[in-house]
């Protein structure tokens, strides 16, 4: 079911919809489970999503109240990155009513070449516990025939076996544990989740000049490094360096329910400060999103120069027009707006796939793009010319121009390559959105 809400409102609506689901954490530990559950909390991607509320991560979050749901077409896939080589002995599929009649379970060591280790054309839906033998870092369910007119939808996709990444909160580009400090001293929350702000400016600013602001409160982390966050809807927490009204600022977005945290770092509007979040729940779930460790380690000027070096000519000016404070998203730059030097950047490509929309609105997924998330994502990623089954395959993203190379940069330099580079970057589970019930603490690292 697509939505006609503008992208920014669409994200808010998705967050609120997730809050409305009670996080019961029933679990699906099957009798005689073969091996250890090695998929929970790991990075997940998919060929498509029905809308922002049904992202791929929902199927590996351990919460049977959230689900992944695909577009209403064949074929579709959902995959999980186990974080390292693994031996797979069992897969448990907890289907919603929209299940697969025909599907395969496949493994891969490189996310490109796949081996089928289970196949059926008589899927039953419900909870299917499938014993099998295979190996690889990546495991996916490839649905080839739907049992209903809707898409494919899984409450949980659980992989059992041995190996994989040892730290479910880690992954590609994730910081070492020392980056996050001693988490054992974080106080217990009296409300929903205890938030700790970390100074990771590499000595550029003291704790007395690293500020956070939320719900009318503003403090330096020298004064108050913690916030006992209550339930709230569609909120932002801002961070400032140097002064509480500094031009060096940025924010995270979240909606917090009575027993669930939903939130993300975002580059939809601009890059202001390096930010990373680590969410830890009482059940052991642990996940990190945001800029990668290397980006946090380098000076701000290096990041700006790296952006200039890595993006095509049309995008280089983004690192200059608000320097040294921000790198704005291309849709906010005059050069890509009507009358600007690159106003027709997307025009010919969009028209070649039947879309008549301005470059500015394609970058911003606005106007006619607001109700067509899959197409807007495909245009930004330069996959709109491909068959629909390939448009949301990450290996196909940004291979040719025109594309949103601003978004590509933030994906290239993000933990597990997940980032919110444009409003519908959640399509195929590529955004930095995280959600989990019964949260224990959230750390937010602020960098220079």
pLDDT tens for each residue of 147-185: 999 999 999 999 998 887 644 455 678 888 889 999 999
pLDDT band at 31 (very low <50, low <70, confident <90, very high): very low
Q: Which of 112, 134, 163 is a domain's end point? A: 163
Residue 35: inside a domain: yes
Q: Residue 245 and residue 296: Cα distance in Å, rounded?
A: 23
Give domain status of residue 1, yes or no.
no
Provide the domain limits for residue 384: 168-448
- Please compute the mean of the pLDDT values over residues 104-125 and round it to a whole number: 95
In a shared domain, residues 281 and 146: no
Residues 272 and 417 in one domain: yes
Question: Are both 261 and 306 inside the same structural domain?
Answer: yes
Q: Is residue 247 part of a domain?
A: yes
Confidence (pLDDT) at 165 = 66
User: Using CA atoms, how far apart are residues 10 and 15, in angstroms rounded to an integer?
Assistant: 9
Residue 146 domain-assigned? Answer: yes
Interaxial angle between packed helices 300-310 and 405-412, expressed in degrees from 0 to 180 and rounded to the nearest 10? 130
Look at residue 212 and tell me if it is in a domain: yes
- Which residues does 300 contact at the CB level (< 8 Å), separation at least 6? 324, 448
Compute the Cα dihedral for 49, 128, 168, 13 and give only its sign.
Answer: positive
Residues 265 and 181 reside in one and the same domain: yes
Task: Band the pLDDT of 104: cuts 50, 70, 90.
Answer: very high
- pLDDT tier for residue 34 given thresholds of 50, 70 and 90: low
* Average pLDDT over all residues of the chain: 89
The count of C-alpha atoms lying within 13 angstroms of the C-alpha of 363, restricted to the half-sphere facing its C-beta, is 32
Task: Tally the domains of the chain.
Answer: 2
For 351-376, how does the pLDDT look when each residue is reduced to its tens digit (9 = 90+)? 999 999 999 999 999 999 999 999 99
**173 and 144 housed in the same domain:** no
Neighbours of 342 (CB within 10 A): 19
Tens of pLDDT, residues 195-253: 999 999 999 999 999 999 999 999 999 999 999 999 998 799 999 999 999 999 999 99
Give residues with Cβ within 8 angstroms of 24, minimum separation 6: 63, 64, 65, 437
Based on the fold, state whether residues 139 and 183 are members of the same structural domain. no
Domain CATH number, residue 18: 2.60.120.260
> Would you say residue 237 lies in a domain?
yes
* Judgement on whether residues 185 and 317 belong to the same structural domain of the protein: yes
H runs (alpha helix) in 113-260: 177-180
Asked if 174 contacts 292 with a C-beta cutoff of 8 angstroms, the reply is yes
The contacts of residue 263 (CB under 8 Å, 6+ apart) are 15, 252, 253, 254, 255, 256, 277, 279, 433, 434, 435, 442
pLDDT bin (cut points 50, 70, 90) of residue 286 is: confident
278 and 401 inside one domain: yes
Element (H, E) at 379: helix 373-381
Is the domain of 183 the same as that of 223? yes
pLDDT of 25 over the 70 cut: no
- 281 and 179 assigned to the same domain: yes
Last residue of a domain, one of 128, 163, 198: 163
**Chosen domain end from 163, 195, 213:** 163
Does residue 62 lie in a domain region? yes
336/276 same-domain check: yes
Does residue 21 register a pLDDT over 60? no
Domain annotation covers residue 2: no
Residue 229 and residue 208 in one domain = yes
């Amino acid at each position: 079911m697509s939505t006609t809400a503008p992208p920014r409102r669409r994200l808010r609506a998705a967050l609120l919809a997730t809050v409305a689901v009670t996080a019961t954490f029933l679990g699906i530990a099957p009798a005689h489970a073969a091996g250890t559950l090695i998929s929970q909390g790991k990075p997940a991607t998919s060929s498509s999503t029905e809308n922002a509320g049904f992202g791929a991560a929902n199927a590996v979050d351990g919460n049977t109240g959230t689900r992944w749901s695909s577009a209403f077409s064949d074929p579709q896939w959902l995959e999980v990155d186990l974080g390292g080589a693994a031996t797979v002995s069992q897969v448990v599929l907890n289907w919603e009513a929209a299940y697969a009649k025909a599907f395969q379970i496949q493994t891969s060591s490189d996310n490109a070449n796949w081996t089928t280790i289970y196949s059926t054309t008589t899927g039953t839906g419900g909870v299917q516990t499938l014993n099998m033998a295979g190996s690889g870092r990546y495991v996916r369910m490839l649905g080839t025939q739907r049992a209903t007119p809707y898409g494919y939808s899984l409450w949980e996709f659980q992989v059992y076996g041995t190996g994989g990444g040892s730290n479910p909160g880690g992954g590609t580009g994730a910081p070492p544990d020392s980056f996050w400090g001693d988490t054992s001293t974080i106080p217990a929350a009296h409300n929903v989740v205890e938030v700790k702000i970390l100074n990771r400016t590499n000595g550029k600013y003291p704790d007395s000049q690293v500020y956070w602001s939320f719900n009318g409160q503003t403090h330096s982390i020298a004064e108050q490094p913690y916030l006992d966050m209550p339930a709230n809807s569609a909120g932002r927490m801002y961070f400032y360096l140097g002064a509480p009204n500094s031009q060096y600022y940025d924010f995270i977005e979240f909606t917090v329910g009575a027993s669930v945290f939903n939130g993300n770092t975002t580059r939809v509007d601009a890059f202001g400060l390096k930010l990373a979040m680590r969410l830890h729940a009482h059940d052991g779930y642990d996940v990190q999103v945001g800029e990668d460790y290397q980006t946090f380690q380098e000076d701000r000027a290096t990041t700006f120069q790296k952006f200039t070096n890595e993006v095509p000519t049309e995008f280089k000016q983004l690192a200059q027009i608000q320097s040294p404070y921000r790198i704005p998203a291309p849709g906010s730059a005059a050069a890509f707006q009507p009358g600007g030097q690159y106003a027709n950047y997307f025009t010919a490509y969009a028209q070649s796939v039947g879309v008549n929309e301005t470059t500015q609105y394609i970058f911003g997924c606005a106007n006619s793009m607001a109700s067509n998330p899959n197409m807007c994502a495909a245009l930004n990623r330069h996959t709109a010319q491909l068959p629909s089954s390939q448009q949301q395959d990450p290996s196909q993203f940004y291979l040719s121009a025109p594309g949103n190379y601003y978004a590509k940069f933030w994906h290239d330099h993000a933990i597990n390559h997940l980032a919110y580079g444009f409003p519908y970057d959640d399509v195929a589970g590529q955004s930095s959105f995280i959600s989990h019930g019964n949260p224990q603490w959230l750390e937010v690292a602020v960098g220079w």
